[in-house]
Structure 1
Amino acid sequence: MNILLTGGTGLIGSEFIRQYSREHEFTVISRDFTKAKSKLGDNVKIVENVSSIENFESFDAVINLAGEPIADKRWIDTQKKIICNSRWDITSELVSKINSCDAPPPVFLSGSAIGYYGNQGDKLVTEETPPHNEFTHELCAKWETIAQSVDQAKTRVVTLRTGVVLTEKGGALGKMALPFKLGAGGTLGSGSQYLAWIHLQDMVRAISFLLENSACSGAFNLTAPEPVTNKMFSKALAKSLNRPCLFNVPGFVMKVAMGESSTMILEGQRVIPQKLTTAGFSFDFPSIDEALSGIYRA
């Protein structure tokens, strides 16, 4: 396939290109040409923005993974606006381009997150679970609505409700593992809140599966089939690193340190990939022990 990809220099996008560059041709949208070329290599075409693409009908698929990192900074009003606009604006531009084509790309995969559901406590969450209205839901709901405004008579649309992606290559796991490596790791808040996660390798395999499977459309949860509580995750991480799990960081400390964004850590969603498994996808890393032992063994 000839694929247009946004977010190609990010954790998921760059790994997807690395694994599938022999099967597909990639064009990546990036404002930093030098950085993108250095990271992705000479076989990937780099363009500065959506409007600079002349022949949009040449693409067989569009994969939209762009967006400001959601947990790197406190959620003050200006940062919330940056988080939202970095997702909504480029998705709107892509949709406009797709809808203007006489023969548009046949498939559009667009990012989302399990934040769509908001805080769900220990309830088992599938794609059919009604959301709790809060900032992350508002962010993801509008993001998905924009993507779904593509003319679906011509283009199949899939939105990727992604959990916490685990990999040795960066992302959230490095930050979560650091206290354990220093011998000061432990649970956060009550420890009973659920973490819905996915190994990076299963993440890129799932994207490829949804790209190729014409029967798949709509929202899909991209999480492992076995979500775990923070307490379970902390013990598994400590075991994988051969470090103790002795401490607890009270919830109020997290709130002081992170502000409103601490809700992503202190609250949770017990999300399962119901539609993905029903469609026939098989996980290489279904359990947290398998995922973490694979990561740190590597």
Structure 2
Amino acid sequence: MRIAITGSTGLIGTALVRNLRADGHDVVRLVRRRPTAADEVSWDPKGRLDPAALAGCEAVVHLAGAGVADHRWTAAYKQELHDSRVLGTRTLATALAAMDVPPRVLVSGSAIGYYGDTGDRRTDESGPAGSGFLPELCVAWEDAATPAQEAGIRTVLARTGLVVARSGGAWGRLFPLFRLGLGGRLGDGSQYWSFISLRDHIAALRHLLATEELSGPVNLTAPEPVTNREATAVMGRVLRRPTLCTVPAPVLRIALGEFAADVLGSQRIVPRQLLDSGFAFADPRIADAVRAALAS
């Protein structure tokens, strides 16, 4: 199968490209710079993508977007977060809709930030959007895929949780701290974290591409979310390090600004659509996910 991927140099994109090619798929990588390899196609996420450049692609996976936790949320960076997701998704979806022979499926990235703070309430894909910057961003991000849906392309909105990986993402920043014995609770530790191992995330994306009955929002999270306190205990136990350090909520608010509300917020999100469609998790528990990350 010929598959186009945006965000192919990120944590998830790199792993997905490697996984697909290992199985013999032809991968086309959309890049923002001038192409330097035969498998690259240039695009401008803010408005330019030639539909002809994707001719022959049967599937598209859209993962591009500025990192939510990469910078403090200034007004300028919040605009960058918005534009990189909303404009990029709209540009891609519009180009796909204009193709003479469009792909059969678009898997478009989203996030469980859609739900906002759910407290200790188990929430699946039927849950409503929350309030605040991230939920509003996710709503606009998902709406931007509408041109592809209206063109009859099966469109899946992959709402990703916290990816447990050693080499990147939020968890990639935690591993060095815990190895040094500097890991600990964030706030009071009662907030739920909805995680997924990197290898389960890649397998889930492959499942979304292959499962014809899946469309619309799908949560990419493990079946049993854990609290920050529980995740901290598992990290300490697996790495055999103390977890006595804590970061009080006021300190997080000073250090992170507006983003601290999302770090301290609770999201108990469950993957109902994945489970109902027969997806089997390799790492259903947080200890499994942490060990898989260390073994990768």
Which band: TM-score by shorter chain?
Answer: over 0.9
Question: What is the alpha-carbon distance in structure 2 between the residues aligned to residue 210 and residue 202 of structure 1?
Answer: 12
Indicate how the Cα distance of structure 1 residues 103 and 166 shifts in structure 2: closer, same or farther if over 3 A, else same: same
Match of 2:156 in 1: 158
Q: What one-letter code is carried by the residue in structure 2 that aligns with 1:277? A: L
| 1:127-175, Cα deviation, whole Å (9 max, x unpaired) | 0112221111111101111113324462100000000111122221221
The answer (yes or no) to whether the contact 1:241–1:296 under 8 Å persists in 2 is no
Deviation of 1:285 after TM superposition, in Å, equals 0.2
Deviation of 1:102 after TM superposition, in Å, equals 3.6
Counterparts of residues 43-54 of structure 1 (less than 5 Å): 45-49=39-43, 51-52=49-50, 54=52
| 1:192-246, Cα deviation, whole Å (9 max, x unpaired) | 0010111000001000011011111110000011110000000001111110111
Q: 1:205 aligns with which of 203, 206, 215?
A: 203
Q: Matched residue of 2:126: which SS?
A: coil
The answer (yes or no) to whether the contact 1:165–1:200 under 8 Å persists in 2 is yes
Match of 2:9 in 1: 9
Moved more, 56-65 or 68-77: 56-65
Q: What one-letter code is carried by the residue in structure 2 that aligns with 1:16? A: L
Question: What is the alpha-carbon distance in structure 2 between the residues aligned to residue 280 and residue 184 of structure 1?
Answer: 39
Question: What is the alpha-carbon distance in structure 2 between the residues aligned to residue 55 and residue 248 of structure 1?
Answer: 50
Match of 2:113 in 1: 115
Question: What is the alpha-carbon distance in structure 1 between the residues aligned to residue 148 and residue 185 of structure 2?
Answer: 43
Q: What one-letter code is carried by the residue in structure 1 that aligns with 2:212? A: S
Match of 2:263 in 1: 265
Q: 1:85 aligns with which of 69, 83, 86?
A: 83
Q: Could you state the TM-score of these two structures normalised by the residue count of structure 2?
A: 0.94
Match of 1:61 in 2: 59
Match of 1:26 in 2: 27
Counterparts of residues 240-255 of structure 1 (less than 5 Å): 240-255=238-253
Q: Matched residue of 1:58: which SS?
A: coil
The answer (yes or no) to whether the contact 1:118–1:131 under 8 Å persists in 2 is yes
Deviation of 1:57 after TM superposition, in Å, equals 3.9
Q: Matched residue of 1:225: which SS?
A: coil
Indicate how the Cα distance of structure 1 residues 33 and 165 shifts in structure 2: closer, same or farther if over 3 A, else same: farther
Q: What one-letter code is carried by the residue in structure 1 that aligns with 2:94? A: S
Q: What one-letter code is carried by the residue in structure 2 that aligns with 1:248? A: T
Match of 1:96 in 2: 94
The answer (yes or no) to whether the contact 1:47–1:53 under 8 Å persists in 2 is no
Question: What is the alpha-carbon distance in structure 1 between the residues aligned to residue 224 and residue 34 of structure 2?
Answer: 39
Indicate how the Cα distance of structure 1 residues 162 and 20 shifts in structure 2: closer, same or farther if over 3 A, else same: same
Indicate how the Cα distance of structure 1 residues 159 and 258 shifts in structure 2: closer, same or farther if over 3 A, else same: same
* Greater than 3 Å deviation, 4+ residue runs: none
Q: Over the residues paired in the alignment, what is the CA RMSD in angstroms? A: 1.6
Moved more, 57-66 or 278-287: 57-66
Moved more, 288-297 or 189-198: 288-297
| 1:254-290, Cα deviation, whole Å (9 max, x unpaired) | 0000001112211120001011100100000000011
The answer (yes or no) to whether the contact 1:197–1:227 under 8 Å persists in 2 is yes
Match of 1:178 in 2: 176
Moved more, 175-184 or 133-142: 175-184
Indicate how the Cα distance of structure 1 residues 127 and 151 shifts in structure 2: closer, same or farther if over 3 A, else same: closer
Q: Matched residue of 1:125: which SS?
A: coil
Aligned residues: 291
Indicate how the Cα distance of structure 1 residues 295 and 56 shifts in structure 2: closer, same or farther if over 3 A, else same: closer
Match of 2:221 in 1: 223
The answer (yes or no) to whether the contact 1:194–1:268 under 8 Å persists in 2 is yes
Question: What is the alpha-carbon distance in structure 1 between the residues aligned to residue 71 and residue 54 of structure 2?
Answer: 35
Identity %: 38
Give the unaligned 5+ runs of structure 2.
none
